Structure 1
Amino acid sequence: MMDSLPHLPLGDRVDTGIRWIKDNLSVVLDSIKDSLEFLVEGLSDWLLTLPSLIVVILFAVLAAGIRSLRFAVFALLGMGLIVSMELWEPAMQTLAMVIIATLIAVIIAIPIGVLAARNNTVSAVVRPVLDFMQTMPALVYLVPVVIFFSIGYAPGVVATIVFSMAPGVRLTELGIRQVDKETVEAGEAFGGTPWQILRGIQLPLGLPTIMAGVNQVIMLALSMAVMAGFVGADGLGKIVVESLARVNVSLGFEAGLAIVILAIFLDRSTAAIGQPTGRSLSALVRRRRKAAQRAAAEQKDSQAVPAA
């Protein structure tokens, strides 16, 4: 007979902790729930205020401004297809949820990434936490948030924030650490403070990588926003869940196609934001290096004059 290890009731301990938070911090949880629902519902109502065709044209103009005319044509046709499938309202609800969750996730992720880039201890502590967040199955996040926030937008937004935040932290840290050390040293030689170096050198030069992290946050947020349909959040995710329950292939295909269109639009839009900075990166680095070389040459000349 094989010996068995004693059972460790980790799940029971986690359940006890969640119940304690629910019982003792109900006021805080209710405030968070009300705030998130107010933000998502307010943004979705604002997106639905104008006629859908007007908003489609505005999206196309935005696409032309930040990327290209070809992308504007895609936005016009894609968003028009969503309108024609009569999925405009749930699409805007999903878009509002993704925008709010992404903004909150980025506001949290970028400062943590900056701290991790500037402090190895913070990086060592944050890394396993991010590994845990990224490998935990998405549906598992929905269990505790439903206990905390019941059903609706709030549990979906909170689960989306937790699920999508990790790449924002990782790529922010990577972007800061990849900045050329000579450029940073040149800033320090000119008497720049750590905040000035971060704001004027590291963040601008690391922006393409940081924006890649924001892009990944948006993609994960959109995928998790679909999962939020399981906890009663309105939007395309709820329609996907309904089509699954009713085995309605046509409804599920149309909702999935609308999600794909939103995903492509958000992906290409955020990717385009980092491109101008990426193109000017090498020029900015060269300017920084030339400035450092001029400063070193002037200092050498000033030291050579007394010697003569």
Structure 2
Amino acid sequence: MIRLPIGDYVERGIDWLTVNLAPFFTGIKEGLSGIINGFDFIFNGIPFFITIAILAVIAWRLAGRGTAIFTVIGLLLIVSMNLWKQTMETLALVVTATLIALLLGLPLGIWMSRSDKANSTIRPILDFMQTMPAFVYLIPAVYFFDLGEVPGAVATVIFAMPPVVRLTSLGIRQVPVDVVEASKAFGATSGQLLWKVQIPMAMPTILAGLNQTILLSLSMVVISAMIGAGGLGNVVLQGITQMKMGQGFEGGLAVVILAMVIDRITQSLGKARKKG
């Protein structure tokens, strides 16, 4: 068969974008860098024992005593491994990527839930975003934003956004038809129906999407260490490249602890909303 030079076309497209939209990418880079550095300054500026206490209280209120105890023990273990700074750097990247994913994903999910045409158009794009190997996203991110935290955050947003889009659309579509019809019968406008009926009832499903987005962001942030994103991913990467098994294990353990704390808290938030 004749070879289709798809890769060549992609490279030409990326080169064209890099040259002609350089000011646009520069603006995004500066904006994202400011946000990431701001979160990093806050997280690393607060003494670790205060941060641990705050997270423990949140875990206790939302998930119970067991999760609160695990949060304290797990985070103190991270401190004892001298990985607190790297953990906060990773958390800053995760928070930034998650916020951007929510700002982009929630409107897309709402649009998909209200338009079958949009749903049929966006769904294949989400399939592509989820099935493409995570490492592939690093290549255009480096082209557009050089090395560092910003391309890591951009690649993370692309990789982690599909769950919140899908589950937002699914949650709104699963609102019972009789509830929607009753709201319309009482004179609810389209906006009132969305914000006062559909989104509140779909909130547990939306929060499940948020949970998945956060966890995918955390996994992608670690991979992004390959392009200079830093944080715990850099610790793991150094352990791999320098054949330091202990260092790599400690970095991986810190990632697991952070992921479990975030997962338990966000899952409990969704369960609390569902019960309410």
Q: Same fold (TM over 0.5)?
A: yes
- How many residue pairs match? The answer is 276
- Which residue identity lines up with residue 79 of structure 1 in the other structure? L
Q: Secondary structure at the match of 1:124?
A: helix
**How far apart in 2 are the matches of 1:140 and 1:277?**
37
| Equivalent residue number for residue 262 of structure 1 | 258
| Equivalent residue number for residue 147 of structure 2 | 151
Q: Secondary structure at the match of 1:174?
A: helix
User: Structure 2: which 5+ runs fail to align?
Assistant: none
| Equivalent residue number for residue 166 of structure 1 | 162
| Equivalent residue number for residue 279 of structure 1 | 275
1:56-92 deviations in whole A, cap 9, x for unaligned?
A: 1222122112221211111100100000000000000
- 1:54-203 correspondence runs (5 A): 54-203=50-199
- Which residue identity lines up with residue 138 of structure 1 in the other structure? A
Q: Which one of the candidate residues 37, 41, 58 is aligned to 1:41?
A: 37
**How far apart in 2 are the matches of 1:101 and 1:91?**
15
Q: Secondary structure at the match of 2:272?
A: helix
**How far apart in 2 are the matches of 1:257 and 1:242?**
15
Q: Does 1:11 align with 2:12?
A: no
The structural deviation recorded for 1:7 is 1.4
The structural deviation recorded for 1:50 is 2.1
- 1:20-39 correspondence runs (5 A): 20-39=16-35
Q: Secondary structure at the match of 2:251?
A: helix
Q: Secondary structure at the match of 1:48?
A: helix
Contact 2:239/2:245 (CA < 8 Å) preserved in 1? yes
**How far apart in 1 are the matches of 2:230 and 2:154?**
15
**How far apart in 1 are the matches of 2:163 and 2:271?**
19
- Which residue identity lines up with residue 88 of structure 1 in the other structure? W
The structural deviation recorded for 1:54 is 2.2
- Which residue identity lines up with residue 48 of structure 1 in the other structure? N
**How far apart in 2 are the matches of 1:131 and 1:193?**
33
| Equivalent residue number for residue 241 of structure 1 | 237
| Equivalent residue number for residue 248 of structure 2 | 252
The structural deviation recorded for 1:51 is 1.8
1:76-125 deviations in whole A, cap 9, x for unaligned?
A: 00100000000000000000100110010011111111111111000000
Moved more, 18-27 or 64-73: 64-73
Contact 2:62/2:272 (CA < 8 Å) preserved in 1? no
Q: Does 1:224 align with 2:220?
A: yes
- Which residue identity lines up with residue 146 of structure 1 in the other structure? V
When the two chains are superposed, the root-mean-square deviation of aligned CA atoms in Å is 0.8
Structure with greater contact order relative to length (CA < 8 Å, sep ≥ 6): 2
**How far apart in 1 are the matches of 2:233 and 2:249?**
12
**How far apart in 2 are the matches of 1:169 and 1:50?**
33
Q: Secondary structure at the match of 1:35?
A: helix
Q: Secondary structure at the match of 1:7?
A: coil
The structural deviation recorded for 1:168 is 0.8
Structure 1 or 2, whichever has the larger Rg, is 1
The structural deviation recorded for 1:42 is 1.1
- Which residue identity lines up with residue 21 of structure 1 in the other structure? L
- Which residue identity lines up with residue 29 of structure 2 in the other structure? K
The structural deviation recorded for 1:266 is 0.9
User: Structure 1: which 5+ runs fail to align?
Assistant: 281-308
**How far apart in 1 are the matches of 2:133 and 2:166?**
19
